[in-house]
Structure formats: C-alpha cells, structure tokens
Chain A
Amino acid sequence: MTAEELKSVDVAKSVDARGTACPGPLLEAKKAIGTIKAGDVMEILSSDEGTKQDIPKWCGKQGHEYLGWAEENGYFKVYMKKK
C-alpha cells in the first residue's frame, strides 16, 4: 500500500511506542494485538528505525498481514492487519 492509502485506512488500535527502543515497539505491539479483533488494523508509532523491518518479520511469523509504513514528522507509522 502507498503512504496515502495507508493514511485512509480505518485504524482500530494505535500503539504509541515512540518512547521505546528495540525490542520495545515489538513488545508493545504484541501486548496490544490481543485487544483487537481479527481483520482489524493496528498502527504502531515508532521512532526506532529497526521497527520497520521487525514488524513485517513478526507479521510473517504470526500470519498477520503487514500493510506498510508511512513517514510522519520525526517518527513513522507501521500498519498491520490482524489474522
């Protein structure tokens, strides 16, 4: 998905992990995934560059759908859809 498409997606849950470094954002995402339903989209806000690579790997292992990431001012948002 392009950054523009991502921004128009309905987000069920937003996880602000900007205050943590690796493996913080992944851990925050793992804790939050249990609170949303299958098919829901979750966004993870992070300023840790590794998150862009780690979240897709996590999604791949767990069977969730990785949607992409979008640049924000000084951080970025990573989008994924729960299996």
Chain B
Amino acid sequence: MEKSNVVTLEQLQTQIEELNAKIAKLESSRQDQLSIAVVSGDLDKILAAMVISIAAAAMDTQVKLFFSFWSLSALRDPKKSPKGKDVISKMFGWMLPNGTKKLKLSNMNMAGMGPVMISYLMKKQNVMSLETMFKEAGELGIEIVICEMSMGLMGFKKEEFIDYPHLSYAGAATFVADASESSIQLFI
C-alpha cells in the first residue's frame, strides 16, 4: 500500500512552530561578534590579531580576544616584576619575551634583526605600534581574556600583565561559549 503524502493542517502548523523556534534560536546565537583564540606569540601574528580586532571594533563589532600560551608574552609589562615565583617559573620568565617590544618574528627573525627592521618600517609607514594598538583596543572596548591554565603553566603572575581596562581571566569554556555566539571565529 502506498504511503499517503497528505499532511494535515495541524501537522503543518506544528512544523512551522518548530521552524520558528529554530530560527529564533539561530538569530540569538550568532551575534555581530568576533572571537579570536590568540595562541601565537610572534610579533607578526599578534600584529595581525590586533589589526583585525581594531578594524572589527571600528565597525562596531564586539571583539573578544582569548590569549593563551605563547601570546601571553605580548601582554607582559616589562616595568613590572612579580615576586614569589619558583625556580622554573623564573626560568620561563627569563626565556620568554617580556612585552610587545621583545617579540620575535615567525619568519626572518634573524637573531632579532628582523623585528628591529619591522619596527623601523612600521614607524616609517605610519603603522601603529603594538603599544598604541593595545591602547586603542582598550578605548574601543575590545575584551581580552587571559587563559588561566596557560598562565599557570608558564609560571606567569597576574601582577606582571599590562594595565588593560577590559582584562579578565578564564578557562577554555569561556572561549567556547564566546565563540559559539560569534559570527566570526579565528585562531591565530
């Protein structure tokens, strides 16, 4: 016997209701928001993350940056020297770049010559310095979340990070939750 293709009005109505509920859920879940997992600590990649973030924020897109692992070096303030670190944490502190001015290039680093040349070219061609970018980012309301786990792993202390107006500390679930409601998600 052939199956009937006739759909009752009630069935259609429930289907429409279900679809409406799904659309409402989709609309509320994807906001005009950019989430970036910033993992790399290379000068060029931090630059890329900041340029994209500032452009997005200038276009009124909400920006949430999740800084994890090597990228934490970029958030260190060289003027601050936290106390109470154990031997391994101190070693990590010495070996890793202390602040934006000490970051290396992912390519053409040439024992520190590359970053010097890039900084010179950036100044010459009026590209904002990373310090200025972080300042602008703060004024634009760009949020920075520091990954607690990698901070602990690398022995960094909260006291050694830059003074940034929208800085907070959280775990991976925060990035997942932020990213899931963002229309753009990037990994740098």
Which label, helix, strand, loop or mixed, suits the secondary structure of the B interface?
Answer: loop
User: How far is A54 from B55 in the complex, measured between Cα atoms in Å?
Assistant: 9
Residue-wise, chain A 2-42 has the 8 Å CB interface mask toward B (1 for contact) of 00000000000000000111111011011000000000000
List residues 37-69 of chain A with CB under 8 A from any CB of chain B: 54, 57-58, 61-62
How many A-B contacts at CB < 8 Å in the complex?
A: 34
Shortest A27–chain B CB gap in Å is 5
Residue among B51, B54, B59, B125 with most chain A CB within 10 A: B59
Interface residues on B, range: 10 to 19
Does B21 sit at the interface, judged by CB under 8 A?
A: no
Q: In the complex where A23-B54, A27-B136 touch, is A62 in contact with B59 (Cβ < 8 A)?
A: yes
User: How far is A54 from B59 in the complex, measured between Cα atoms in Å?
Assistant: 10
Q: In the complex where A30-B58, A58-B58, A58-B59 touch, is A23 in contact with B126 (Cβ < 8 A)?
A: no
> Which residue from chain B places its CB closest to the CB of A47 in the assembled complex?
B126
> Which residue from chain B places its CB closest to the CB of A20 in the assembled complex?
B126
**Chain B residues packing against A (C-beta within 8 Å):** 51, 54-55, 58-60, 125-128, 136
Please, could you name 20 A-B residue pairs with CB atoms under 8 Å apart, sorted by A?
A20-B128, A21-B125, A21-B128, A22-B51, A22-B127, A23-B51, A23-B54, A23-B55, A23-B58, A24-B127, A26-B58, A27-B58, A29-B58, A30-B58, A54-B55, A58-B58, A58-B59, A61-B59, A61-B60, A62-B59
**Chain A residues packing against B (C-beta within 8 Å):** 19-24, 26-27, 29-30, 54, 57-58, 61-62
